[in-house]
Amino acid sequence: MTSKQISVVIAEDNDMMRAILRSMLRGEYYNVVGEATNGQAAIDLVRTLKPDLVCMDVVMPEKNGIEALIEIKAANPGTEVIMVTGNSDPETVQESIQNGASGFIIKPFNAARVLDTLDRASSKIRQKRG
């Protein structure tokens, strides 16, 4: 991984959605360093791998995405977390933002919007790096 790449963990319980995100993140800017299929596994991966960015599904088994977001941000405040959801109701959006989410990706995926959301979060990461 070159220093300019953003390390990413994908936390998504749906295999196809995870594969789509992984394919969108291939390239020179992002490096997918881990994948989780539930909220607790995402927390454990972030603790171990310390990625720059997490793509976190809202609805997952064991711990939902918002519960995982809260734990991840408490332990790793510098990690940017983008919530991934098929349900963008105002309560979910507000709760996620209040707990530190950097943005939202809405399912079904629109590649341009996904990359735009990831680019905004990546800009924050690059600013932190100096």
Is 116 domain-assigned?
A: yes
Number of domains in the chain: 1
Is 121 domain-assigned?
A: yes
Is 58 domain-assigned?
A: yes
Judge whether 12 and 55 are in contact, CB under 8 Å: yes
Phi, psi of 22 (to 5 degrees): -60, -45
Residues 6+ away with beta carbon under 8 Å from 79? 46, 50, 51, 52, 53, 54, 72, 73
Is 104 domain-assigned?
A: yes
Verify cis geometry, omega within 30 degrees of 0, for the bond prior to 77. Answer: no
The residue range of the domain holding 76 is 6-129
Q: Residue 28 — pLDDT band, cuts 50, 70, 90?
A: confident
Length of the chain, please? 130
Is 50 domain-assigned?
A: yes
Is 20 domain-assigned?
A: yes
Report the CATH number at residue 52: 3.40.50.2300
The whole-chain average pLDDT of the chain stands at: 92
Is 29 domain-assigned?
A: yes
Is 63 domain-assigned?
A: yes
pLDDT at 57 over 90: yes
Mean pLDDT of 109-120: 89
Structural tokens at position 36: 């989780």
Distance in angstroms (rounded) separating the CA atoms of residues 59 and 7: 23
Burial (0-12, 13-18, 19+ Cβ within 10 Å), 90: exposed
pLDDT at 97 over 70: yes
pLDDT of residue 2: 47
pLDDT at 32 over 70: yes
Q: Which helix (H) or strand (E) holds 35?
A: strand 30-36
The tally of CA atoms less than 13 A away on the side-chain side of residue 26 is: 5
